[in-house]
Chains A and B, each alone.
Chain A
Amino acid sequence: MRYAATGFDLEVDLTRGNIERVATDQGLTGQYLGGQGSAANILWDRVPPEVDPFSPKNLLIFSAGLLDGAPVPGANRTSISTISPQSNLYVNSGLGGFFGPELKQAGYDKIVIRGKSDGLVYLWIHNNRVEIRDAGHLQGKSALETATLIRQELNDPNIQVAAIGLAGENRVFQASIEHGNSSASRGVGVVMGDKRLKAIAVRGSRDIAVARPAELFEICNRQYREVYDNPQCGDVFLKEADDSWHVGHTGWSNPPRGFWSEETAKELAVRVERDHVSYQWENYTQEMEEVHETIVEKSEILRGTGCFNCPKNCHLAISLPGERIYFLKNYSRLAYARAAYPDLQLSYDILAAMQNYGLDEFAMPQVVDFVVTLYQAGILTDADLPDFPADSSGRFLYVLEKIALRQGVGDALADGLYQAARSIGRGAQAHERSAKRIEQPPVRLQQASYPYFLMHAVGDKMNITQIEGSFPQMPIPDRGEREEFVAQWDAAPERFKKWFLDWEPGEQLSVEAAVNIVDWNEAMHFSDEALGICPFLSSFRGQYGGRPSYHLHNLPQYISLATGLELDAEGLEAIARRTGLLVRAINVRRGLRGPDEKVPQDLWENRDPGLEQQHLDAYYAFKGWTPEGVPTRETLIGAGLDYVSKDLTARGILTGD
């Protein structure tokens, strides 16, 4: 009997149309938990570095968190893992909503997809019944439309759907996978589109059993209250009036106009008026009367919606003129705040367009900024951009459409900025801002921050906003307030409390502290991604107020009660580090080395390459990696990854001692 996990994966071969339900090894749950952890292990085993991301042999894995479906509040995330065509490295992106729990209720922990279909298809999973169905009629539809049509077609409103939009269908590298109020960014949608898989629809009606029922429900019941009442958890930026930090610290070439304020918030209620003409019979006189009315439509926040079994309402549903609905996600809020378009309604037009095409709302503002910069520099001309509008909104929507359709210059841009700059040539490379071939936001720090530098440089998520979170980014000036912060900081190990307590404004943390902070941030994220715990309740949220609802010290209790695995904080950290090491090994095997770990040049002024290298060296040493960034044999074996060590040795990546 397995608790919390179902013990089965669904293996789908889209080339042959073969579907299998495969029992999984319980030992692997103890080693990697679920979600990202056990999915990384499958990618290591089955996708060797010779496999091109667009090969049918590349896998796309939808993996429910270990605690999804158990009553743990906020455990609902689905991890989507594959090899990215953009970076040719491992990519993992999560989505919230309802998909993971429904997959578990259908009886599967994971869906492992291989091969490629000839035509566009969707996968329909209903407990034991699994079908690959034609999706020709869904071509070009947005994810929300796709979900509605599938629910109608299969006559079940409780079906959960994850789908790609037009961008994914056209193999745009920055395509997202969308699901209800959530989406998975960082380009996982391109692999789904390459496999010609339009959507996955899941419906399950099976029990998720837990090991120690009464005790687990008792702490979960308390946790609903804790999560709901905790002001530092959830999407704290969503309703905050002042987002000046994010705008003030980003350096767009097309500079932002002002920033989020009370006034901008009021602009949300922008009204659109249009004339509507209809005809009606009047008093049976057979005379048609023309009726003119003015229809008033306005943008408004309808409500905050939650994900499965979480009392926070982070995903704002916003209605827009033209009967559109948009779900506001945090990172996209940052995107528009950074771009700071002339008015807010316009920003929502752009965001809604990205949602409908299924485009990464984080990458797109960087791409559009790049295009405008090249246009202003004369590198892209009217010949490249026929009918390029003059206003910023028109330009944004223009570029989005070109990318989603891979039309004209959009075809190059849809390969990612790094590749696009090289295809366009003419000096475009000088304006391109990416790291490991992934678009990077133009964050500009006022002063050097070495933990930030390290997270940016070594992060496997390739995006700074996905790595930070557990340690405050800036010191609190007042020592008394620092003491208060530290006093209730249960999430942090003791040494972190001391580092934070002694951290004065304007000072740099020690190299040792910086390295430890990065390592700890990583462990928190790997733990969340394996368990399905939302980072907004955990790894992203220690930095504000120091009181995340979940952390490495309280999560083991939830895991033990739900699964029956005996686990303490050290055990959980070991699992998180093992997963991190495995992800590193996958990337190392695909060629990643220390010199690739660079951050954008303008992260802050007056960079000190020597000190940066000192931090990188210290980090590699702390991790037990070589100065090249390759995990040593001793490190791998110590983490129980003998098979990884053997493989890296056989490939000549690990040599000598």
Chain B
Amino acid sequence: MSDQSKKKIVREIKVDLDKCIGCRACEVACSGFHASPKYSSFNPSRSRIRVVQDLVNDVYVPLRAGEYTAAECTGRQTFKIHGKQYSECNFCPASCPSRELFKEPDSGLPLKCDMCADEKMPMCVEVCRPGALTYEEREEERADEEPALGEVETGLKSLVHKYGAQKVMDTIARLSQND
């Protein structure tokens, strides 16, 4: 393996909350970019980035759609920011059954940010002139990949994970004696 193949490009959008003016241009650009044909329609409800706003408490948080989750989480953490309580749900990027955020308005299918895959820069960053969103590409060492596991190994590993190594070994020993 060459050295190069051990590197990978990490694409990252950095968010500076102090610079966000809450204009939602990112939502407009994102929904347009992902429309078909491209830019044929605009609809923040389809955007994969939303600005969570709380005017009265001066909170503006651009949030990008993350993983889809089939079930609500059990997390019940709350944060107090400048004297106002927020639940972790307020700033969670998941497309989750507990709320409407990051779902196609018609189908309910989950939305996820793809960093505008083919563009040199994600469109939300491109239109964010105040500079709340910035784009960064950096190279990162790729961790050595683990060798592929065989079928039996995979099965055993999950059993070990579930019941613990000792119980699995005991069972295998018992089964072997029975033979």
- Give chain A residues whose Cβ lies under 8 Å from the Cβ of B23: 305-311, 313
Contact with B along A224-250 (1 / 0, CB 8 A): 110111000000000000000000000
Central interface residue in A180, A213, A225, A327, by most chain B CB within 10 Å: A213
Contact with B along A309-325 (1 / 0, CB 8 A): 11101000101000001
B40 x A210 contact (CB < 8 A) = yes
| Chain A CB within 8 A of B127 CB | yes
Nearest CB on A from B171, distance (A)? 50
| Chain A CB within 8 A of B18 CB | yes
Select from chain B the residue with minimum beta-carbon distance to A207.
Answer: B41
Contact check: which of B25, B37, B55, B100 meets A317 at CB < 8 Å? B55
Nearest CB on A from B131, distance (A)? 10
Contact with A along B19-46 (1 / 0, CB 8 A): 0011111001100100101111111111
| Chain B CB within 8 A of A156 CB | yes
- Give chain B residues whose Cβ lies under 8 Å from the Cβ of A105: 43-45
| Chain A CB within 8 A of B58 CB | yes
- Give chain B residues whose Cβ lies under 8 Å from the Cβ of A156: 100
Interface stretch, picked from A68-76, A380-388, A418-426, is A68-76
B58 x A325 contact (CB < 8 A) = yes
The number of chain A residues with a CB under 8 A from chain B is 46
- Give chain A residues whose Cβ lies under 8 Å from the Cβ of B100: 156
Determine the distance from Cα of A70 to Cα of B40 in the docked complex, in whole angstroms. Answer: 10
A69 x B42 contact (CB < 8 A) = yes
| Chain A CB within 8 A of B52 CB | yes
- With A217-B32, A225-B129 in contact, do A144 and B25 touch (Cβ < 8 Å)? no
Determine the distance from Cα of A602 to Cα of B53 in the docked complex, in whole angstroms. Answer: 46
| Chain A CB within 8 A of B175 CB | no
- With A210-B40, A303-B18 in contact, do A313 and B130 touch (Cβ < 8 Å)? yes
Nearest CB on B from A226, distance (A)? 10
- With A308-B23, A309-B25, A311-B129 in contact, do A71 and B39 touch (Cβ < 8 Å)? yes
| Chain A CB within 8 A of B164 CB | no
Contact check: which of B24, B29, B45 meets A205 at CB < 8 Å? B45
Determine the distance from Cα of A227 to Cα of B130 in the docked complex, in whole angstroms. Answer: 11
B24 x A309 contact (CB < 8 A) = yes
- With A225-B129, A228-B130 in contact, do A180 and B55 touch (Cβ < 8 Å)? yes
- Give chain A residues whose Cβ lies under 8 Å from the Cβ of B46: 205, 207
Contact check: which of B21, B42, B126 meets A207 at CB < 8 Å? B42
- Give chain A residues whose Cβ lies under 8 Å from the Cβ of B25: 73, 224, 309-311
- With A228-B129, A303-B21 in contact, do A209 and B41 touch (Cβ < 8 Å)? yes
CB contact list, A120-160 vs B, under 8 A: 144, 147-148, 156-158
| Chain A CB within 8 A of B71 CB | no
Nearest CB on A from B82, distance (A)? 9
Nearest CB on A from B52, distance (A)? 7
Determine the distance from Cα of A158 to Cα of B37 in the docked complex, in whole angstroms. Answer: 27
Select from chain B the residue with minimum beta-carbon distance to A318.
Answer: B58
- With A105-B45, A311-B21 in contact, do A209 and B40 touch (Cβ < 8 Å)? yes
Determine the distance from Cα of A221 to Cα of B52 in the docked complex, in whole angstroms. Answer: 23
| Chain B CB within 8 A of A650 CB | no
- With A207-B35, A207-B41, A319-B58 in contact, do A71 and B21 touch (Cβ < 8 Å)? no
| Chain B CB within 8 A of A304 CB | yes
Given A207-B42, A305-B60, A306-B23, 7 other A-B residues pairs in contact with their CB atoms under 8 A: A71-B29, A213-B40, A213-B41, A228-B129, A304-B21, A306-B22, A319-B58
User: Which of B's residues lie within 8 Å of A, judged by CB?
Assistant: 18, 21-25, 28-29, 32, 35, 37-46, 50, 52-58, 60, 100, 105, 126-130
15 examples of A-B residue contacts, CB within 8 angstroms: A71-B39, A144-B55, A148-B56, A157-B54, A205-B105, A208-B42, A210-B42, A213-B35, A213-B38, A213-B39, A216-B39, A224-B127, A305-B21, A305-B23, A309-B23
User: Which of A's residues lie within 8 Å of B, judged by CB?
Assistant: 69-71, 73, 98, 105, 144, 147-148, 156-158, 180-181, 204-210, 213-214, 216-217, 221, 224-225, 227-229, 302-311, 313, 317, 319, 325, 327
